[in-house]
Each structure stands twice: as structure tokens, then as C-alpha cells.
Amino acid sequence: MAPKSHVENRLLVLTSCLVMSIAVVQPSWGASLQEKIEKEKQTLQQLKQEIRKTRKQRDQARKQQSEVLHSIERLDRQLYKERREAVSMNREIKQIDRELDKIDAQLTGLRSDMNDKQTVIGTRLKRLYMEGRAGWVSPLVAAASYAQFQRRLMYLSSLARWERDLFEEYRRQVAQSEQLHAKQAKIRESLVARKGRVDKKLSVIRDVKSQKRVVLASLKKTTKSHDQMLSTLNQAENRKETLLKELKQRSHISAGRTKKRTMDSFRRGALLWPADGDLVGFFGRQKHPTFDTYVRKKGIEIASREGSAIWAVSGGDVVYADWLRGYGLVVILDHGNNYFTFYAHASKLLVKEGETVAKGAVLGETGSSGLTNRNILYFELRKGTKPVNPLGWLAKR
């Protein structure tokens, strides 16, 4: 049961006093008693109004905080979708570039071959022009014998076929060159259009990021007290704790049906670091960088360049890989023997629930999803549901 507010406690005290006053009062007091009762009734009425007002403000604050968390998740999902589409477009652009390179290579070879044929054809046409119409007949007429005539005729026929094939091949290459140029122009047009769409997509991504910064800033402005600000953070924290308890219970139920995993690599000082980067958030009481208030962190934060790899600190089973409101894209690994690791604020996940991963496997990429405007990885180590300081378990670096 939730504790009573100061106003509610005051109402309870006044109500008790009023009842006791009525019980002990003498009938001879008359009108003065009636006035006192009316005055107490007015006071009670005012207190009831204050209680209603306080409850309404509290409910509005909770609703507002929930709406902010929902807005952040919606923006994160939109950002994730826009990024995936941008990556797909860039992949298409690279494919188009490869196709253009292939066409350029074909055109280069074709031009070289066509230039050689042009030289031969030009030389041959010049000679035919100089010899005139009799050029083909003269060698036959000058033959000393019929056998020589036949040989020269066969040679001239073979030469004519070669020249005809040369001209035909040259015309075919000219047509092929025209087709390749047309294809090249069309592909380049498609490339320009795709690059334009990518530029628009990047603009949308920048806008979404800007909207998220505004929402996070509004959370600081709209919270009226330190307790309300912490309440917003606690909403996300409670979701995480509920999820971890469910996963622990599920792991406990299935423990009897699964093979117990070896824990040789899961010991103090032997775990891999989950990401490259500087350690910017420590286990324990810390000042929250976004909301300018002190919170008790159950893990550590590593500042990392967006898109950097997130590594499994040890081998385990992926028991969760999805969105978690307040934490963005999240991966949770079950390492056996009641040990779990928690990775949050990813920009991309590369594993799915149910997969078994090895130590050092890439789980996803770092980002800024969830209640943060920085590119960080939030990492927790749990013994059951109890948070453990990861720095005592991660390898020295």
C-alpha cells in the first residue's frame, strides 16, 4: 500500500479531532458549537479539495513521465527503421557502383578493340581507294597459269570474307558500345536518385535525433521535483527488474532439463570487456548525465563510437534481444550457474533470443537508444537478480 501524503495525514487528524469534540461537548454550548462544527466542515472540505488536486497533479505527472518514455521509445524505433533503410540504400549504391565499374571496364576494352579495327579498316579502305575498281581484278589477270589464278582467287575471296567479318564485327561493337553507354547513363541516373534519397534519409535521421534531444530536455523541464525526476528513471528501472526476475525464474525452471554450462571462463578478472571505449559511468551512486540528479547505478557505462561492436563477455544463451522501454535495444545473456549479463542502448542487434553465443561473439552495435543522448553501452553483471560490480570481473586492460 502506498504511504499517505502529508495532506491526507492532516485530514485524518482533523477528522479524529472533530469526532472527539462532538463526543465530549455538552448540549449547553448551543450556537458556538454549531459554528465550530461548520468551521471544521469547511476546513475538511478544503483539505479534500487539496487532496484531489494533489492526486490529480500526481497522476498527471505519472502520465506525463510515461508519455515521455513512450515518445523516446517511438523515436528510437523510428531512428532504427530509418537507419536500416539508409544502410540498405547504401548497399544498393555500392552494388550500382560495382556494376558501373564493370561497364567501364567493358567499354575500355571495347574502345581499344574498336580503335585497332578502325586502324585496319582505314588502312584497307585507303588502299582500295588508291587501287580503284581494278584493284581486285589485276592479280587475277596477271596470273601466269590457271592454277595460280585459282590460288589468287581463293586468297582474294578469303580476304573479302575477312574484311566483311571485320566490318560486321566493328558495327556490332559500335552497337554494343551505344547500348553500354545507354545502360551506363540509366544506371548513373538511378545512382543519383538513390543518393538523393539517402541524403533525405540522413536528414530525417538528424531530425529524429533532434526530436529525441528535445524530449529528453523537456523531461528535465517538466519534472517539478527531485522525487518526480527519479520516478521517471525508476519506471524504466522497474521494467528492467521485472524482466530480470522473469528470466531468472524461467532459467530456474528449465535448469533441470538443460545441461549445466561450464564456468571455466566465467570467473573474476577473466571476462572480456563488452565494448571498446572510455569508462564514463561507475557502479554505485552516480550523477545522471542527462537529468542532472543522483542515482544508484547497478552497472557501468562505456562511451563508444556509434556502431562499434558489442561483445559477449563470456559464452551464454541469449534469453532476451529486443526493445526495453528506457534502455532501448537490449541483449541479456544467461551464462549458467545463475549469472546474467545485461547490455543496453544498442543501435543494432545481431543476435536473436534462443541463440547460444561464444565468448567474444558480436551481439550488436553501440548507440544511443533509450534514456540517453550519448553513444554509450550500459553493462550490468547479475548473480541471480543481485547486481554485482562488473569491474571486479572484467579483465584488466
* Complete DSSP assignment for 185-241: HHHHHHHHHHHHHHHHHHHHHHHHHHHHHHHHHHHHHH--SHHHHHHHHHHHHHHHH
Percent of the chain surpassing pLDDT 90: 21
Given this model, what pLDDT does residue 350 score?
94
| pLDDT average, residue stretch 59-71 | 60
Q: Which segment, 24-28, 136-140, 164-168, 184-188, is predicted with the most confidence on average?
A: 184-188
Tens of pLDDT, residues 332-372:
999 988 899 999 999 999 999 999 999 999 999 998 888 78
Q: What is the pTM (predicted TM-score) of this model?
A: 0.60
Asked if 374 and 368 touch (Cβ cutoff 8 Å), the reply is yes
* Complete DSSP assignment for 242-309: HHHHHHHHHHHHHGGGSPPPP-TT-STT-BPPSSSSEEEE-SEEEE-TTT-SEEEESSEEEE--TT-E
Q: Is 51 exposed, middle or buried (0-12, 13-18, 19+ CB in 10 A)?
A: middle
Least confident range from 61-70, 339-348, 381-390: namely: 61-70
| pLDDT score of 157 more than 80 | no
Topology annotation, domain 75-222: Helix Hairpins (1.10.287)
Q: Break the chain into its structural domains and give their ranges.
A: 6-25+32-72, 75-222, 234-392
Given this model, what pLDDT does residue 311 score?
96
| pLDDT score of 305 more than 80 | yes
| pLDDT average, residue stretch 246-254 | 76
Tens of pLDDT, residues 204-233:
667 766 766 676 666 555 544 455 556 667
| pLDDT average, residue stretch 253-263 | 52
| pLDDT score of 263 more than 70 | no
CATH 3.65.10.10 fits domain 234-392: no
Q: Which residue has the higher pLDDT, 285 or 218?
A: 285
Given this model, what pLDDT does residue 317 score?
93
Q: Are 75-222 and 234-392 equal in CATH topology?
A: no
Mean pLDDT of the chain: 75
Given this model, what pLDDT does residue 3 score?
47
